[in-house]
Structure 1
Amino acid sequence: MKKLIRITTIPGAIGTLLKGQLNFMSKHYDVIAVSSSDNGKLKEVSKKEGIQAYPIELTRKITPFKDLIATYHLYRLFRREKPFIVHTHTPKAGITGMLAAKLAKVPHRLHTVAGLPLLESKGLKRKLLDIVEKTTYKCSTLVLPNSFGLKQIIIDLKFTNQSKLKVIGNGSSNGINVEHFNPETISESQKEKLKLELGIQPNDFIFIFVGRIVGDKGINELVSAFDSIQTKNKVCKLLLVGPKEEHLDPISSVSESRIKENINILDVGMQKDIRPFLAISNTLVFPSYREGLPNVVLQASAMELPCIVTNINGCNEIIKDGLNGLIITPKDTKSLKSAMTFCLNNPQKLKEMSRASRNIIIDLYSQDIVWKELLSLYKTLEK
């Protein structure tokens, strides 16, 4: 079988964001995963996916010297393994992997774009990140934005030629396992047990956010909007599910204080299985500044949750305003507060949006659709 090397910056991206996909591809290609070792997590992912894995240390920060070393190690790996395809994900894996693959004369070099962090950067940092992105695309033979809106942004920024861009299926890097993300997988007893643990009362209305607790996910606006709403409506709670990243994009000290002091804000941190938390919630709130095609909105929708999202690429492709959720202005606390209040005060409309949510995901973003489309693309490269 021809060799396929898939590269991510951290193994969690393979084990979570691409879960199952590399195992599926291993039936058709000799698949090798490359990522940082991350204290043995790469080995765990390798075992679960049933594929080979090689650790090469990659960082998520701007570290030119370490990046050059990683590029050299990747180059040596490609020269030894002679892959037919190298396919990278995440910005750092993209620049090191695509550059090394071009130097090693790998025939097919694919890079998936699942968001552009540079959109929130300014000044010299923005100029540097623009150069890195353009270089990544120049070294690749095909660039795969994971949403149509992201594709248009890349075209507008003139990062590469339109002919080099392709969206797989309807978007998404991995699709959604709709059997796993199904409200029926969580029993009533599981929900009641979790509510008891969190101190949630039977009549409480639960807003939930799932993701990194950072500034560019709109956490400052979310905490401010909720703090204002719940002073007048004591039966609502905000559930925050996800890790903090103070070293990369910290939230404001005001938001930190509100989270600690407001007893109706439940900060539960990172969770291995988010489904029980989605199952006890009424609405997902996802006021992000930038995305590719956000997995959490797909997952919540598959769990029959209406979603409040910002009017940005990816989010506004999954959510149709008034059909399966509400679309708000980015970075706008007033708009967010209005949408959250609407959900609180319109239970019938919320039920209608809930009913529509899951079917849209099944029809457009099921894992089978994305995996088969990507495999089909790989196969066309063999002709």
Structure 2
Amino acid sequence: MKIAVLSSHTSSMFWFRMDMMKDFIKKGHTVIALGSEPEAVWKRKFEEYNIDYRQLCVERNGMNPLKDFRTLRSLNKFMKKERPDKVFAYQAKTVIYGSIAAKINGISEVYPLVAGLGSVFRGKGFKNKIVKTVMKIEYWVACKSSKKVFFQNHDDKNEFISNGLIKDEKTVIINGSGVNLKKFKPTPLPQEPAFLFIGRLIKDKGIMEYLEACKGVKAKYPKVRCLLVGPFDSNPSALKSEELNPYIENGIIEYFGEQDDVRPFIAQCSTYLLPSYHEGTPKTVLEAMAMGRSIITSDAPGCRETVIDGLNGYLVKVKDITGLTNKMEYLISNGEICNSMGKESAKIAREKYDVKIVNQSIMQVMGL
């Protein structure tokens, strides 16, 4: 079969969906990947895995209706020409417009993944309310045009059901994107305590809470390392370089920018942190768990599924800098707990988040 995989963020598709696409190919199917970035940059990278990459006219964070119409037109043109047998889409714009374009062209085998509801969907204010209302209508149309819809946590699924966007029988829960256990393996903890945050530098990820908690920790424990990996972003809540620079210049944070391989950085930390406001299921947390790290994350949709509080890490309230700081300081003073929690994390990753198990669930629903 010919399978189209749609995303409004090419690098996310390359790093987070490659295992899934490779499994599609192992089953004898053809995969065409559509993303936002130029073919000149990405086509050869995808071809190494026998995947045909095409650039899609899509703007991930914009709200310009004319640009969104061009996205729909671009997807409609693709569907009409290629006639894929099945479509897998994730991220808001490709989910919405990919599902609609498929419906227009009589393609019923559409399987969107709602991998977390963004800041617009959960935000407040009059302008946000208008945008949210439009998005609800668009999601309703997308769900109506789809055969099944994947969710990564029950909070997001229940949000869609309670808003009348989808019926329960059309939903499927999967355990995130999974983690490649051959690639991410347990490594020894560093001798000295060290913390790590990996992610796009947007405020909804809890980056400011992490920076402020590190500031408090470093004031009491100056030898503790606080690492940061991730790119700046175009998201409305993106952190600006001038906001980050004081933390770097004052020795609070060691910033390493965007990295193709995060394993060397996970290996340098004793505890992984992600105080995000909402997620689907955070892949970086799964990768840190697979490498045997204790986790501190927020008691928020998507995040709370990864941690059994007190067993493999701790859950803190959203935007709770004091709570985050207290848990960091506790693990600094009780370093032996990081080792036992890390072992529990690795066990949970093996039993629940193995990418092979997750991909098998996806393929079974898609009839592959």
Select which of 287, 296, 314 maps to 1:326. 314
Q: Which residue does 1:166 correspond to in 2?
A: 172
* Larger displacement relative to structure 2 (252-261 or 98-107): 252-261
Q: Which residue does 1:214 correspond to in 2?
A: 202
Give the distance between the partners of 1:83 and 1:286, measured in 2 at CA: 37
Give the distance between the partners of 1:71 and 1:247, measured in 2 at CA: 21
Q: Could you report, residue by residue, the CA deviation over 1:271-321 in whole angstroms, capped at 9, with x for unpaired residues?
A: 111101110111111100010010011000001110100001221111100
Runs of 4+ in 1 over 4 A off after TM superposition: 252-255
Contact 2:57 2:74 in 1 (8 A): no
1:46 aligns with 2:46: yes
Q: Which residue does 2:86 correspond to in 1?
A: 85
- Mapping for residues 133-172 of structure 1, pairs under 5 Å: 133-168=139-174, 171-172=175-176
SS in 1 for 2:201: coil
Select which of 183, 192, 207 maps to 1:180. 183
Q: Which residue does 2:260 correspond to in 1?
A: 272
Q: Could you report, residue by residue, the CA deviation over 1:192-217 in whole angstroms, capped at 9, with x for unpaired residues?
A: xxxxxxxxxx8642110011111111
Q: Which residue does 2:219 correspond to in 1?
A: 231
Q: Could you report, residue by residue, the CA deviation over 1:165-185 in whole angstroms, capped at 9, with x for unpaired residues?
A: 1113xx113x1111101135x
Contact 2:199 2:231 in 1 (8 A): yes
* Larger displacement relative to structure 2 (48-57 or 328-337): 48-57
Compared with structure 1, are the counterparts of its residues 126 and 137 closer, same or farther at alpha carbon in structure 2 (3 Å cutoff)? farther
Q: What is the percent sequence identity of the aligned residues?
A: 28
Q: Which residue does 1:121 correspond to in 2?
A: 123
Give the distance between the partners of 2:253 and 2:108, measured in 1 at CA: 51
Corresponding residue pairs, total: 361
SS in 1 for 2:172: coil
Contact 1:223 1:258 in 2 (8 A): no
Contact 1:206 1:282 in 2 (8 A): yes
TM-score between the two structures when normalised by the length of structure 2: 0.91
Compared with structure 1, are the counterparts of its residues 102 and 246 closer, same or farther at alpha carbon in structure 2 (3 Å cutoff)? closer
SS in 1 for 2:4: strand
Compared with structure 1, are the counterparts of its residues 132 and 361 closer, same or farther at alpha carbon in structure 2 (3 Å cutoff)? same
- Mapping for residues 86-101 of structure 1, pairs under 5 Å: 86-101=87-102
Compared with structure 1, are the counterparts of its residues 39 and 299 closer, same or farther at alpha carbon in structure 2 (3 Å cutoff)? same
Give the distance between the partners of 1:247 and 1:94, measured in 2 at CA: 18
Structure 1, gaps ≥5 residues long:
192-201
Structure 2, gaps ≥5 residues long:
none
User: Could you tell me how far 1:83 is from its partner in structure 2?
Assistant: 2.0
TM-score between the two structures when normalised by the length of structure 1: 0.88
Contact 1:310 1:316 in 2 (8 A): yes
* Larger displacement relative to structure 2 (17-26 or 282-291): 17-26
Compared with structure 1, are the counterparts of its residues 246 and 72 closer, same or farther at alpha carbon in structure 2 (3 Å cutoff)? closer
1:250 aligns with 2:238: yes
- Mapping for residues 362-377 of structure 1, pairs under 5 Å: 362-377=350-365
Give the distance between the partners of 1:37 and 1:269, measured in 2 at CA: 20
Contact 1:111 1:144 in 2 (8 A): yes
User: Could you tell me how far 1:356 is from its partner in structure 2?
Assistant: 1.0
Instruction: Give the superposed CA RMSD.
Output: 2.1
* Larger displacement relative to structure 2 (74-83 or 365-374): 74-83
Q: Which residue does 1:6 correspond to in 2?
A: 5
